[in-house]
Structure 1
Amino acid sequence: MKQLKRVLTIIFVIFDIILITGGYDQHSRMYRWIGHPLADIMTSIANFVGGTNGIGWAIIIITAVLRLILLPFFLNQQKASTINQIKMQQLKPEIDKLQAITRKAGTQQEQQQASMAMMSLYRENNVSLTGGISFLTMAMQVPVFSGLYSAILHSPSLRDATFFGFNLNQSQIVFSVIAGLIYLAQAWLMAKHLPEEQRKASSAMMYISPIMIFAFSMYASGAIGLYFIVGGIFLLFQSAINHLQRPAMEEKVSKEFKVEKTAEDLLQSAAKKVPVTQPNSDVNEEQDDHTTPTNNKHGRNSGKQNRNQNKDN
């Protein structure tokens, strides 16, 4: 299963690179392969719905359908990330010990031992350094949402489309504000479960996304703003599910998770792999190497002087 997941991840990453490097204009691979078919589907949905708001409803429907298809993958990734975060909190005392030893390390060998012990601490206790993030899930959503963005950006049917009086071909501050507030609520909900010190350290980073969504929606078309609103609602829904499941996950981790290897155990193992060298012995050996030729040379000179004295006699 892991091998299959690794192969699929590589395939999707290569496919994403091929799409993204082709640009986002009307002649790009992104629009021809994904954006244009999605634009045709969007137009068909708009004709089926009918009315002046047909395109707006088509954007909402197709975004919601794609989000629903990927929702199980998102929820699974979010659950894995949350469990990994809870394990990290359980492992924090051992992490703090190794960090303190790293700060106090006086030699390069001691620092190397502490670094090796830190890496082993995560590996031996089955805690992911990447935070439980699934690269396959990330790679899968790039062509879907980039293609949808390309479809909204270049679809000819959007030129005169409106949604309840809002021109979808022009930027709409109302859509931008709503999208920004939704992503802000999602960031706040995710930050509630972080430890106090981690919350202070990462609070600025967590609120960058809502600011970027707001700023991007201000300069993009109303159709893009509507897309962000629908996507934000689903993201907030995922965070709410994770919020409700969090107590059960914490209870499960507290029962099942045990620290297999402590900081002391791993430091002892690292010390065997990276022994601390004795600098004095190296200096003595170096001195011996330099003094030996000097003594030999002196001995040879003495021998020559003795032979010369015998000749004179």
Structure 2
Amino acid sequence: MKKVKKLYSLIAIAMIAVTLSGCVRVNSDGTPKEGFVYNYLALPAEHILDFIAKFVGGYGWALIVLTVIVRLILLPIMVNQMTKSTKMQEKMNLIRPQMKEIQKRQQNAKTQEERMQIQQDMMALYRDNDVNMMGGIGCLPLLIQTPVFIALYNAIRFSPEVSHTVFMGIRLGDKNLILVILSVIAYLIQGFLMTLGVPEEQKKQMKFMILLNPIVILIATLQSPAGLGIYFFIGGIFICIQTLIINMYRPKIRREILEQAKKNPPKKVVKEVHESDKNNESPEIEKSEENKNKNRQRNSGKQNRND
């Protein structure tokens, strides 16, 4: 689990680093050099914002409209991943008693061999019951949005019209602490909504992932112009709505998982482990019984001699 968390963290931070690095070289006068990122991402994004701005009355509203469009495109993927994550949470609830048993054994393990065996038992428990520790966690939405981040970042950076636009008192080309705070709050709320209806023990396991998104958003918005901050903030509101939708369907998902569990009950991996442990212990018990019998025979022999 720790490896999964570290992997996800590294991927997320790497994506942010690549996104906010700009990826566009500039000339001595500050103008962008011709290149793949500028020609095929920044310029098209600038043209799209110009086009939308004509219909909505400004670049601030154009950024909001573009954010909604991107989020609508991502909606099926996000809902699918969140649904998978919810199903995994419900499946984990079914095997939680066995997980506790294995965790107790892990705490009492004294040798490296015992720890390795316990880890194998835990993996077998997940595998046999079709539980994936990654759940619905995936980097596909982040991967899809990365070109959007880069495009908007550089479009705002190199477009005088966009960067000098003032929207609701905020200059789109400047960094803005208010949007940073609002974006982080939006993703914190989304993390809180994810915990609704989840057992306390599972909430503790989810803490890392709940805090990761706001931290990543904090890093991103601190380094971004206000225009990109608008994208993160509106995106955060959108993902809160998605989470509410999933929460509405959570009871239905729970019923489906319970019905499946009635037809195909969770496999008792822990029970098998205990039985094997008993079998491993039985030769020792037999040996001890044999030793006791031998001692009794010796004692009885001595008594017969004395008589």
TM-score using structure 2 length? 0.71
Q: Is 1:22–1:30's contact at 8 Å kept on the other side of the alignment?
A: no
Partners of 2:66 and 2:260 lie apart in 1 by 41
Aligned residues: 255
Unmatched tracts of structure 1, length 5 or more: 1-15, 279-313
Q: Is 1:116–1:270's contact at 8 Å kept on the other side of the alignment?
A: no
Partners of 2:194 and 2:120 lie apart in 1 by 32
For residues 143 and 234 of structure 1, do their structure 2 counterparts lie closer, same or farther at Cα, with a shift above 3 Å needed? same
For residues 33 and 268 of structure 1, do their structure 2 counterparts lie closer, same or farther at Cα, with a shift above 3 Å needed? farther
For residues 202 and 34 of structure 1, do their structure 2 counterparts lie closer, same or farther at Cα, with a shift above 3 Å needed? same
> Which residue of structure 2 lines up, in the alignment, with residue 33 of structure 1?
40
Partners of 2:173 and 2:95 lie apart in 1 by 51
Q: Is 1:191–1:203's contact at 8 Å kept on the other side of the alignment?
A: no
- 3-state SS of the aligned residue for 2:23? coil
For residues 164 and 154 of structure 1, do their structure 2 counterparts lie closer, same or farther at Cα, with a shift above 3 Å needed? same
> Which residue of structure 1 lines up, in the alignment, with residue 295 of structure 2?
none
1:81 to 73, 80, 85: 85
Mark the structure with the bigger radius of gyration: 1
Q: Is 1:59–1:227's contact at 8 Å kept on the other side of the alignment?
A: yes
Deviates more, 1:237-246 or 1:111-120: 111-120
Unmatched tracts of structure 2, length 5 or more: 1-14, 25-31, 285-307
> Which residue of structure 2 lines up, in the alignment, with residue 305 of structure 1?
none
> Which residue of structure 2 lines up, in the alignment, with residue 24 of structure 1?
23
Aligned Cα root-mean-square deviation (Å): 3.3
1:152 to 140, 153, 156: 156
1:113 to 110, 117, 121: 117
| Aligned pairs for 1:144-293 within 5 A | 144-200=148-204, 202-203=206-207, 206-207=210-211, 209-210=213-214, 213-214=217-218, 216-217=220-221, 220-257=224-261, 258-265=265-272
Partners of 1:82 and 1:88 lie apart in 2 by 10
Q: 2:69 is aligned with what amino acid?
A: V
- 3-state SS of the aligned residue for 1:116? helix
Deviates more, 1:150-159 or 1:96-105: 150-159
Q: Is 1:159–1:169's contact at 8 Å kept on the other side of the alignment?
A: yes
Percent identity reads 34
